[in-house]
Amino acid sequence: MTTNPRTTAVVPFSSLTTFRVGGEPAEYAEATSVRELTALLDEGWRRYDDWMVVGGGSNLLVGSDGFPGIAIAVRTRGIERVDVPEVPDGTVRVRIQAGESWEDVVAFAVDAGLSGIEALSGIPGSSGAAPIQNIGAYGAEIGDVLSSVELYDRESGRLERVRADELGLGYRTSVLKRHGGGPAEREAVVVSIDLDLTRSVDGLGAPIAYPQLAKALGVELGDRVALAEVRRAVLALRSSKGMVLDPDDRDSWSAGSFFTNPIVSERFAAELPADAPRWPVDDVEEPVTVLPLDGSAGFDLPILSPLVEDERRVKLSAAWLIENAGIGRGFALPGSNAAISSKHTLALTNRGNASGEDIAALARYVQARVQSEFGVLLLPEPVVVGLDI
């Protein structure tokens, strides 16, 4: 390891990720300021073909062989209001440094009477990762309130403010997301994010947009509920599924939902059992994960090929597909230390001393069962490094 005043002892990914698995990077460093971050990126890009930044590690699965490049942990902090003339009355723009815990940002907004992200309570990870993944839950996404991000761009070597509509935000993706450990469409690192939140003069949040949350709150869809009450209900729901980090709960030793809900054509969905949940999809940029009609390989494309482009699409429940392919809560492969969560079928978990390879093997098994039963290829949501899924 090259000597560098900003570089600390190498830390294994098992200490950096919520899966608690993974070997060591070739080099590890932490950045606590934007200046440190940009300097480390410049140096890492110069010296290594492989590099990554790590936030909360909640969307990262790494194999036992580790990573052959530099891993830079973003530990910058700061939340502030930004006064800009283009913001309409009733809207407050908030700028958040990339290393801030997302949960701390939601708590700040709710305490300040700012609405727009209360339904995103309890999502682990850092704020800088939030737009990369376009995090979402209970009928809300960060893309709904994201104004812009500040990026440090590898090609230009400059800090740039980029509008949200230039990020290609889609279902759990953006142009900044790396897929399968490969490069992103744009090699840049999020330095800060700007959110446009609504000042709640009556203390109420945005209209409730998700049936499960409405039921938990005892209200109808579209009703508005106190911000703090929404936050409490969301945290309770997520905790009941093992989706809130808890060192004593091994169901939370995971990356949350491991597979994205697949998007298929309405025609294909009509061939599934009548009780298979489905929701209409309007966004034409949603990925397609259905097998073509001839039964050959699966697709992950931004258009409906080989189907017709104007065909209506629906989103399926990955959890329902897994359960109805015969894989229940707590399922584990023989001799493996990875298992389906005992609380939620969509989460793959480390039961104590699993390896990344254990989790990847379980993921492949789930994919094979669902594909065999329903003809749908489930796609992993986390970034996967050094493993085949």
Tell me how far apart the alpha carbons of residues 336 and 6 are, in angstroms, rounded to a whole number: 38
Look-up of token digits 């069962």: 369
Our answer to whether residue 278 is catalytic in this structure is no
The Cα–Cα gap between 233 and 239 comes to 10
Q: Quote the Cα angle for 241-242-247, to 5°.
A: 165
Tokens encoding 278: 């489905």
According to DSSP, residue 261 is labeled P
334 beta partners: none
Are the CB atoms for 347 and 318 separated by under 8 Å?
A: no
Of 291, 264, 289, nearest in space to 278 by CA? 264
For 71-83, b/e burial (b = at least 16 CB within 10 A) is bbbbbbeebeeee
Between β-strands 91-97 and 114-115, what pairing exists: parallel, antiparallel or unpaired? unpaired
3-state secondary structure (DSSP) of residue 78:
coil
Instruction: Give the SS3 label for residue 379.
Output: coil
For residue 381, indicate whether it is catalytic: yes
Give the span between the Cα atoms of 56 and 177, in whole angstroms: 15
Catalytic residue among 93, 172, 238, 250: 172
Among residues 257, 265, 341, 355, which one is catalytic? 257
Known active-site residue 257: yes
Residues labelled as active-site residues:
172, 257, 381
